[in-house]
Amino acid sequence: MKHLIDPHGGKLINSIGEGPVRDYLIERIPGMEKVTLNKREISDLEMISIGAFSPLEGFMGQKDYNSVLENNRLASGCPWTIPITLAVSKDDASKYALDNDVALCDQNGEVMGVLYLDEKYDYDREKEAQVVYGTTDIAHPGVAALYEKGDVLLAGNVVMINRPDHGEIEGVLLDPKETRLLFHYKGWSSVVAFQTRNPIHRAHEYIQKCALETVDGLLLHPLVGATKKDDIPADVRIECYRIILEKYYPKNRTVMSVFPAAMRYAGPKEAILHAIARKNYGCTHFIVGRDHAGVANYYGTYDAQKIFDEFKPEEIGIIPLKFEHAFYCKECDGMATGKTCPHGKESHVFLSGTKVRGMLSEGKDLPEEFTRPEVAQILMKASRGVA
């Protein structure tokens, strides 16, 4: 078997507490101070613990935090573009003592993990918003979430002792150690990952299959963590992906697994984070299309592709596959991009998740130029509340 790509930073982190470690921590929880995590923080805890955010072993300390904002790198020099932090209010911060364990709980009080508190520090929300999101506008969902956070950041290594309940989609949840083992036994030395938070449509299928022509396998990796309220629910999207893979993709060259990260809508900065995470899952290539991880009009159409040019290829490690906006051309009678189609815009049917959501909200049928009929049927049923 060929060697799989190395994890980011050279080591795949695993901080899932099991066996005696888990038992020991559970016994000590009653004596710990507690922090209640929101959905994004729970996702971050899981992503750190399963190794998807390698080389992070916990929530960032001040040196890493400052280095990420100033240099797009961890203090070690390893490329990284978005702070992964845990915030509490200034009043609460005083009750958490350094060099002590802190229980990390969900909204219902269930303990999800334990943080060994190594550091507490203040931070500048406005600076972080401008650097990470390119704006301080609270209409941006990432900025709004940032401004809702507490004033003090807690830092230190974490251990997850209870994983979030992902419901029915747990059947397609593979951790980085599992995808790496699967790719190994499939004999895949080159794997392309596709990130999406939208139902699959023709443009997705087109660029996925173009990419699949050049590598051994495809990891379809839909994000199922916290998203905007108007995004289509994860279970509906997964049903769409399943039927497409079953009917229109080669089974021996495709794998689907859900990606339990939360969306930050940070555009270019998040594209790098998504690529690094897929490298940790064992992927060698990563599809970056139009307005990756974008929202509204905060980023240029291809800013998420251009940011990769700011790093040396060997620093990121995973290869970005940059695709232009794909569309259905009536004259070509098929999918194309500006690189392959000679016809004018009047012949083009542009496809986007936003447009699909808009048509569904208006009760309109989705034409075949948008997506496969099987997918359209699932989406229409879901939008109309049909069982």
Q: What's the pLDDT at 66?
A: 98
Do 26 and 65 belong to one domain?
A: yes
Q: Work out how many domains the chain is built from and give that number.
A: 2
- Nearest Cα neighbor of 72 from 13, 117, 132 is 132
Residue 3 has a pLDDT of 77
155 and 204 together in one domain: no
Identify the DSSP state of 229: T
Which domain CATH number covers 229? 3.40.50.620
The residue segments making up the domain with residue 48 are 8-160
Give yes or no: residues 14 and 149 share one domain. Answer: yes
Distances (CA, A) of 159 to 77, 177, 253, 331: 25, 17, 34, 56
239 and 311 inside one domain: yes
Among candidate residues 126, 160, 194, the one where a domain is terminated: 160
Domain assignment present for residue 1? The answer is no
Q: Give the pLDDT confidence score for residue 386 in this predicted structure.
A: 46
Give Cα 144 to chain centroid, integer Å.
18
CATH code of the domain covering residue 47: 3.10.400.10
Looking at residue 72, the DSSP 8-state letter turns out to be: S
Q: Indicate which residues carry an active-site annotation.
A: 197-198
The answer to whether residue 183 is domain-embedded is: yes
| Confidence at residue 133, expressed as pLDDT on a 0 to 100 scale | 98
The three-state secondary structure class of 327 is: strand
| pLDDT lower than 50: segments of the chain | 1, 386-387
Residues whose CB falls within 8 Å of the CB of residue 94, separated by 6 or more in sequence, listed in order: none
Residues 195-228: b if buried by 16+ CB within 10 A, e if exposed = bbbbbbbbbbbbbbebbbeebbbbbbbbbbbbbe
- For tokens 């251009």, the residue is 306
Residue 185 placed within a domain: yes
In a domain, 373, yes or no: yes
Pairwise CA distance, residues 51 & 222, whole Å: 17
Residues 135, 245: one domain? no
Closest CA to 237 of 369, 106, 327, 360: 360
- Residue pair 31/111 in contact (Cβ under 8 Å)? The answer is no
